[in-house]
Structure 1
């Protein structure tokens, strides 16, 4: 009877060992996944951190072709996109070629060469992986606005052919003639964005004056509701940006750009060549001057009047007669800060009023006195290498006064702010990028 009891004890102990071994193994197995999950959790944390870093370095490119009256320029803007923030301009690449698209009105196929040259600049600048998400646009300004409709349409179609074969984000309506008011509005956005005041208050913004070859624009923020109500609807434009509404006075005077005005003062008509050997004779040129001048693919023979009459006074009368009643005066502009671009800048450089690279400030009276000096010097036989400077300066001084800027009004002249070109191109591209993020289209 004792043996079975001993066997029973051994069996009981064996079962207990087996049971304890099973419990320990199960306990160890249950701990192992927890131990394995910790590195996985840390890995996920690192991935999350990397993802945040990628978002903070998310860039959006925008490519704008500026088809102006005297040349075609490409602006390639690189924006840094942050969640719930306005895009920040990280970099701009700029190139320019001459002549403008309008110069190919009678040979539109030839316009493709320059467009392809500039398009290659974009391909070298934008990473290939971002081509399909980078909007490609062309906006033509006064040069094409002044062409007969059919010729302008054909040139735009040639641009569409070139763009359609690129791998950038492109739609046919991305190529168009820009309305003069939109040009002024876009330039206003550019300057105020670069100054960092676009998202502050209307009183912090500055006005914009742009003098191109075929048209001139004036744009500024309207702060008085009564003033808005009294203005013609064509002079007021509204838009929203940075969740702020902006009401602007913006108007473009087609035909009052410097080159078009120069032709009008000389006595020519836009787009109409002279019949036969006729000459344009003007008191705004030196008495002994004779030469040729090409504008909008038309070659003009020009000549100064005979000596005898004072050049400045006679030229001033011609300019005032040409511009009479073509410009609307706006009260209050003398109390606002204004930036002036393009030919305002170039002629100030010609006079030595500002540094060509850094710009500066000028008064309206500087243009007036400069015109008098140049015209009188020309009468004495000087400045033959710049035959139009007397006319140009006289026109600029009259235009500014017609816009109601007094002689003592100071204007700020800048080609660049923070190394970015102060043209309408940034404002138009910026507006497109914001529309893409909000509505999926420019």
Structure 2
């Protein structure tokens, strides 16, 4: 049987249409399977300052919001990318506002204003052509960890609303509450990246201490097999960066940040605003009476009547509060440590370091500083800093409980090579790599 010529032509055209439709659909599906808007480098050209030759440099931006217990900060990182080399931090733009997100727990809509203010800083910093390929991230720390789950979720949803309209590269999982261990690990990455210890050089890594408002972290590279064997399993973590594996001891003590510890020493109870709101403590000057706000609760705080020396009475209170809450880590005696946040601030208050440049202190400096401040308070001094005796006593006890001896030196720095020494840089590294590999943060 012979097919009419016209019928053959129609059949051929029909098959061709079906084939092309299949190819197009297959091509579209393959495009959808690739993560959208992966971070892209921007290549700039410039003349070399000495040779005069035109050279090309590739850059990648990343934006990290740090939603802490006392404030929200934005870090805008500009990385210089080199083939087969670790990225270099070319520049960081930093801004901070107060209060922290947790202060808006009962009025979450008001949290948007501060987020928008900081986003405008990012828009002024990142070239507009790169907005859609610049990852935008927020990590919340102890302030939101301490809130009831529903309140924290609502606040994060408000942030997601603002971020989704920002035109930066954003995914819903880019906004989250950071696990305490991740916070410590990210800060460790930051400090060791900035000193050049993660670039395959012979520079030894350093340990990291961070004292925030709601939690405190300790992280260091494990060197002793005994520490690995005797530490709880959730204190030991490992990761790979720049093709090098690192095994870390890292733990976050929630509720032992300076503000939470201050409340506990004063006799208050975290997360219970209906509890006692008049607090009397031997860590305050005997004639002191004032108000202190913490976690949206306004407390009346007073000193006890004169009796035993303030330092000794306060020391006993602090030791009782922290008893068996902290694990000793033998290895800390034998490696260099950097300390951040309130460790830095209280050293400035004592005049031990310059506020701008930082410096080095010994654990014994905090101990002796606590004794001096407390004794001056009993003599009627230091009224402008009513909590300094308590804070310094707590810091000195905390360090010793972590097994730092009195003669141990700590390096204090807010910046290294003009970059902030917080966990934000390390967390941004992780998110950018995750975006590149998986399309999520």
Query: Structure 1 CA distance, aligned partners of 2:164 and 2:34?
Result: 56
Report if aligned partners of 1:108, 1:154 keep a CA contact under 8 Å in 2. Answer: yes
Give the CA deviation at 1:231. Answer: 1.7
Provide the secondary structure at the position in 2 that maps to 1:10: helix
What 5-or-longer segments of structure 2 have no aligned partner?
none
Query: Structure 2 CA distance, aligned partners of 1:128 and 1:40?
Result: 13
**CA gap 1:49/1:29 in 2 versus in 1, 3 angstroms:** farther
Give the TM-score normalised by structure 1: 0.86
Give the CA deviation at 1:174. Answer: 0.2
The CA deviation string for residues 292-345 of structure 1, in whole angstroms up to 9 with x for no partner, is 000011100000000122100000000000000000001121111000000000
Query: Structure 1 CA distance, aligned partners of 2:68 and 2:352?
Result: 26
**CA gap 1:354/1:18 in 2 versus in 1, 3 angstroms:** closer
**CA gap 1:203/1:307 in 2 versus in 1, 3 angstroms:** same
Query: Structure 1 CA distance, aligned partners of 2:152 and 2:5?
Result: 114
Give the CA deviation at 1:413. Answer: 0.3
Structure possessing the higher radius of gyration over alpha carbons: 1
Query: Structure 2 CA distance, aligned partners of 1:65 and 1:363?
Result: 32
Provide the secondary structure at the position in 2 that maps to 1:2: coil
Report if aligned partners of 1:61, 1:134 keep a CA contact under 8 Å in 2. Answer: yes
Give the CA deviation at 1:224. Answer: 2.8
Q: What's 1:54 paired with?
A: 54
Provide the secondary structure at the position in 2 that maps to 1:37: coil
Moved more, 166-175 or 432-441: 432-441
Report if aligned partners of 1:238, 1:248 keep a CA contact under 8 Å in 2. Answer: yes
Query: Structure 1 CA distance, aligned partners of 2:349 and 2:156?
Result: 34
**CA gap 1:164/1:314 in 2 versus in 1, 3 angstroms:** same
Report if aligned partners of 1:103, 1:296 keep a CA contact under 8 Å in 2. Answer: yes
Query: Structure 2 CA distance, aligned partners of 1:438 and 1:374?
Result: 53
**CA gap 1:257/1:202 in 2 versus in 1, 3 angstroms:** farther
Give the CA deviation at 1:225. Answer: 3.4
Give the CA deviation at 1:28. Answer: 51
Report if aligned partners of 2:46, 2:55 keep a CA contact under 8 Å in 1. Answer: no
Report if aligned partners of 1:263, 1:270 keep a CA contact under 8 Å in 2. Answer: yes
What 5-or-longer segments of structure 1 have no aligned partner?
none
RCO greater where, 1 or 2, for CA within 8 Å and sep 6 or more?
Answer: 2
Query: Structure 1 CA distance, aligned partners of 2:396 and 2:402?
Result: 10
Q: What's 2:38 paired with?
A: 38
Query: Structure 2 CA distance, aligned partners of 1:229 and 1:10?
Result: 76
Moved more, 403-412 or 197-206: 197-206
Query: Structure 2 CA distance, aligned partners of 1:417 and 1:242?
Result: 21
**CA gap 1:13/1:116 in 2 versus in 1, 3 angstroms:** closer
**CA gap 1:294/1:439 in 2 versus in 1, 3 angstroms:** same
**CA gap 1:56/1:83 in 2 versus in 1, 3 angstroms:** farther
Report if aligned partners of 1:371, 1:393 keep a CA contact under 8 Å in 2. Answer: yes
Query: Structure 1 CA distance, aligned partners of 2:306 and 2:66?
Result: 42
Query: Structure 2 CA distance, aligned partners of 1:276 and 1:36?
Result: 50
Provide the secondary structure at the position in 2 that maps to 1:95: strand
**CA gap 1:280/1:84 in 2 versus in 1, 3 angstroms:** same
Query: Structure 2 CA distance, aligned partners of 1:441 and 1:3?
Result: 56
The CA deviation string for residues 173-197 of structure 1, in whole angstroms up to 9 with x for no partner, is 0000000000000000000000001
Give the CA deviation at 1:229. Answer: 2.8
**CA gap 1:83/1:317 in 2 versus in 1, 3 angstroms:** same
**CA gap 1:209/1:23 in 2 versus in 1, 3 angstroms:** closer
Give the CA deviation at 1:402. Answer: 0.1
**CA gap 1:399/1:56 in 2 versus in 1, 3 angstroms:** same
**CA gap 1:279/1:199 in 2 versus in 1, 3 angstroms:** same
Give the CA deviation at 1:359. Answer: 0.4
Query: Structure 1 CA distance, aligned partners of 2:35 and 2:118?
Result: 59
Q: C-alpha root-mean-square deviation of aligned residues, in Å?
A: 13.6
Report if aligned partners of 1:293, 1:299 keep a CA contact under 8 Å in 2. Answer: yes
Moved more, 27-36 or 346-355: 27-36
The CA deviation string for residues 93-136 of structure 1, in whole angstroms up to 9 with x for no partner, is 00000000000000000000000000010001000000011000
Report if aligned partners of 2:39, 2:432 keep a CA contact under 8 Å in 1. Answer: no
Give the CA deviation at 1:227. Answer: 2.6
Give the CA deviation at 1:432. Answer: 1.8
**CA gap 1:375/1:55 in 2 versus in 1, 3 angstroms:** same
- The structure carrying a bigger helix percent of its residues is 1
Query: Structure 1 CA distance, aligned partners of 2:70 and 2:17?
Result: 98
